[in-house]
Amino acid sequence: MRAVFVAAFVAFLISLFGTPIAIRYFTRLKADQPIRSEGPQTHLGKKGTPTMGGVVFIFATLVAYTGGHIALTTLPKAQLRPTGPTATAIVLLGLFVFTGLLGFLDDYLKVAKRNSDGLNKRGKLIGQALIGAIFGAIALYVPAEKTGHAVVTTVASPKLSWVHDIDWLNITKIGAVIFFVFVVMSMSNAVNLTDGLDGLATGTSILVLISYMAIAFWQYRHWCADPSYNAGYCYDVRDPLEMALIAGAAVGALVGFLWWNTSPARIFMGDTGSMALGSLIAGLAMATKTVLLLPLLGLLFVIIVVTWVMQIGSYRTTGKRIFRMVPLQHHFELAGWSEVNIVVRFWIIAGLGVAASLGLFAADFLRVMSGAS
């Protein structure tokens, strides 16, 4: 756990003190977020606020991951510490960085064109699909390796998972890669839709990533590959300590960024940050084998996507709107709620989903262990 805390603390410091530098730099470049004219009128006051802030916490996470690995060298080998970057790290950080680059391209085009269009929808979806397919193939096809007394699986599994693999839900490796792409695209766009109010996507992502840090570390402490672990229930995952390290680093980086991103925001994460965070969360869900738990764990993201789909579907079929505006946070803005009230209440909803998910994860472990005793 020491390495996870080191990574989180390093990322926090880099993000906390690095974000003001990014604010000054992007302000000087006039890289401010274009404001939609049809959006809530209160957003006109945000004009001039720089975007692309996701660059800061992506960089902070990468540096902190390296710092966490340095801390791992102080641990005894018996604790199954990874000696270098693993396949899991390549998949998770690869998704994080490359979807971040895709989002950066989108942000850059918005700034250059001085409008909110950016990269066209088809280009964005194709980019997400390609990135998801490349790292999905790595996650499913990089050969398993032997660690301790057990064979460690590939990063992701050809079986669908709840809090572990469901044996009868084998969708084959090709099907799993396609599903991997779907999860990456869904979460990347879900976090992107959630971003729009100061601190909303940042705070929600912190809650979700904290839960994945806890899940991954719990899996590390009850890992099938650990020869010293003899209890009746273990987790057949690959590199759980790496997952906890990456999630912890991302949490620390986001907390530092939130200091400047909370209302009134001095900088926005932009598509650079939101798309990167969504794909990282998707990768963690696949790697921890909790993908069917993700809709509850990311409850707020799901609510915002579902209401967005309902609005689009209703308008295209009947010409009528269900909500004043989507994404959902803007509906409440037009209803007269203050931005801070919306953000805090949405964080509460996100927290309820996280708490319920961790409760189900723990309940499954306790159920199996009580049955084995």
Which residues line the annotated binding site?
Answer: 192, 271
Q: How far apart are the first and last CA of the chain?
A: 28
Q: What is the DSSP letter of 235?
A: B
Cis, peptide link before residue 227, omega less than 30° from 0: no
Q: What are phi and psi of 168, to 5 degrees?
A: -85, 0
Q: How many residues are listed for the chain in this entry?
A: 373
Could you give the CA distance from residue 139 to residue 232 in angstroms, rounded to a whole number?
Answer: 27
Could you give the CA distance from residue 120 to residue 109 in angstroms, rounded to a whole number?
Answer: 10
Tokens encoding 184: 């990456």
Q: At what angle do helices 200-221 and 172-194 cross, to 10 degrees?
A: 140
Binding residues for Mg(2+): 192, 271
Q: What are phi and psi of 192, to 5 degrees?
A: -60, -40
| 3-class secondary-structure state, position 123 | helix
Nearest CA to 291 out of 336, 241, 237, 337 is that of 237
Nearest CA to 91 out of 242, 301, 206 is that of 242
Q: Is the four-CA dihedral 197, 243, 174, 224 of positive or negative sign?
A: negative
Nearest CA to 220 out of 54, 65, 72 is that of 72
